Structure 1
Amino acid sequence: MSRYLALVPAAGSGSRFGGPSPKQYLQLNNRPLMWHTLQVLSQVAAISEVAVVISPADEWFDDFDWDLPKLRVYRVGGASRAESVRNGLQAMSADAQDWVLVHDAARCCLSVTAVERLIATLADDPVGGILALPVADTVKRADAEERISATVPRQGLWLAQTPQMFRAGLLGSALHAAEAADVTDEASAIEHYGHKPRLVDGDAQNFKVTYPRDLALARAILASRKD
C-alpha cells in the first residue's frame, strides 16, 4: 500500500528575512517557526512520516525540543530547494508509488483541513497536484522603472502554495531531469517533465513568511486557532 510522506526542505539561510538565524528557527509563539509547520503535518492521520531536510552545517536544529513523534531529520540539504528535495527523497528511502507532500518550512499557518483536502482530491490522480489560490486581485506587469507596463488578465491565474503532492518515483525523475534554474517548485519540475499537475483549492492563511512584517500576521492566525 502506498504511504503518504511529508518532506520539508529547510536548508535555506533565509537571507531575505535578514534575521540573526534562518527564519525557520525564529521564535513564534514560544516555538521555532518551523515547529508549527511540522506539528500540523504530524497531525494529519494519513501521513506516516514527516521528514525535515536541513543543511549538514546546520547549527540551530539541536537547540530546540521538537517533541513530534512522526518527525525524522535528514542532514542532506543542498544548495537549492530542488537539490534538498532530491536528496531528501533518497534519504527517506521512499517507494516509487509513495505519495510525497513537499511543504515550505515557512508556511507555518497551514491547516490540517487543507492537507486532508489535498490528499482526498489527489488520491487517485495519475499525476498529483498542489494547493493553490485563484488570483483575485488585478495583476499589473511592471517595467524597469517600476511603472505599469500592462494589466494582465487574471482569468486562469493561480498562486501556487504547498504542500505539493506527487509520487516519489515521478518527482525524483522530474527533479533529476530538470534544469535547476527552471525549477522554482516541485510542480514546475513535473511540468518540465511533460505532465500537468492538478490545482486544488488552498487557503489564504497558508501564506509564506518571507519578511519580518509577516510574523505579526502569523502570530495572530496561530493565536486565533489556539483560542
Structure 2
Amino acid sequence: MISEDKITAVVPAAGVGRRMGATLPKQYLMLAGKTVLEHTLERLLSHQALERIIVAIGPEDTHFPTLSLAHEPRISWVPGGAERADSVLNALRQVTSDFVLVHDAARPCLARADLDALLAAGRQPDGAILACRVRDTMKRGDGQGGIDRTVPRDELWHALTPQCFPTVPLCQALEQALNSGVAITDEASAMEWAGFRPRLVEGRSDNIKITRPEDLALAAFFLQHILESET
C-alpha cells in the first residue's frame, strides 16, 4: 500500500566510475575524511522528510556493507543493474511512498535549501528536477572536430539531482522506456518520453557530480562551504 505522507530517496550506486581512473568506484573515494557516498547519504539523512533511503549497489560490491551508515535504520540496499535505469528500477520496486527522490551517489554537495525547494515543487503529477541555467556559450559539433553552429542558451539547463517524481508513474515510465530500447540518461528523460513535463527547480551550480579526479578537490571546497553556511 502506498503511503501519502512519506517520501523515499533512491541512490543508484552500482557504477564503477571508469573516468576517475581509480582503483575504487568513485563513490568510495575519500573526501574530507569520509567516502563520497557517505557524504551524499548524510546530506539526505539530514532531512526529516525522507523516511527511507534505498541504495542500489553492484552485485560484487564489498565496500558498502562496511560503511557505518549501511546499518543506519533509515537505509537499506538492493542489488543494482547493468545500467542506471535498471538500478533505479530495482530500488523503486521496494518503495512504498507516493513520491520518490532519485539522487546521484557522486553528488555530495547538496544544499539543504535546494532539497527543500525540490520537495516543495516536486510532489505533483509531473514531478520536478533540480537544474541550473547554462551560463556559457554553447556550440554544437559537426562530428568531425569542428563547430556546426552556436546554440542559443536562453532555455538551456544543466540537469542535476535529486529528481522528484510520483513513484508509480516513474516506475512505469522506466520500464516502458527500457522495453522500447529508449536511451535513458536520467529519470526525467524517462518521464519526458512518457509524456510528462517535469518542472525545473533552479538549484546551486556547486551541486557537482564527481566524475574526474580534479572534481574531488572542488567538491571538498564546495562541501565545506555548504556545511559552514548551514551551521
Q: TM-score range by the shorter chain?
A: over 0.9
Answer yes or no: is 1:83 the counterpart of 2:86.
yes
Label 1:32 to 1:26 Cα distance change in 2 as closer, same or farther (>3 A). Answer: same
Q: How high is the sequence identity, in percent, across the aligned residues?
A: 43
Which stretch of structure 1 is more off in the superposition, 135-144 or 75-84? Answer: 135-144
TM normalised by structure 2 equals: 0.91
Long gaps (5+) in structure 1 = none
Q: 1:93-135 CA deviation, whole Å, 9 max, x = no partner?
A: 424xx11000000111011111111011223x22111001121
Residue correspondences, number: 223
CA distance in 2, matches of 1:182, 1:58: 26
Matches within 5 A, 1:7-156: 7-66=10-69, 69-90=72-93, 92-95=94-97, 98-123=98-123, 125-156=124-155
Q: 1:172-221 CA deviation, whole Å, 9 max, x = no partner?
A: 00011003542110000001111111111111110111000001101111
TM normalised by structure 1 equals: 0.92
What's the CA shift for 1:4? 1.0
Q: Are the aligned partners of 2:99 and 2:166 in contact in 1 as well (CA < 8 Å)? A: yes
Q: Are the aligned partners of 1:52 and 1:71 in contact in 2 as well (CA < 8 Å)? A: no
Runs of 4+ in 1 over 3 A off after TM superposition: 67-71
Q: Are the aligned partners of 1:2 and 1:99 in contact in 2 as well (CA < 8 Å)? A: no
CA distance in 2, matches of 1:93, 1:122: 17
RMSD of aligned alpha carbons: 1.6
2:208 is paired with a residue of what secondary structure? coil
Long gaps (5+) in structure 2 = none
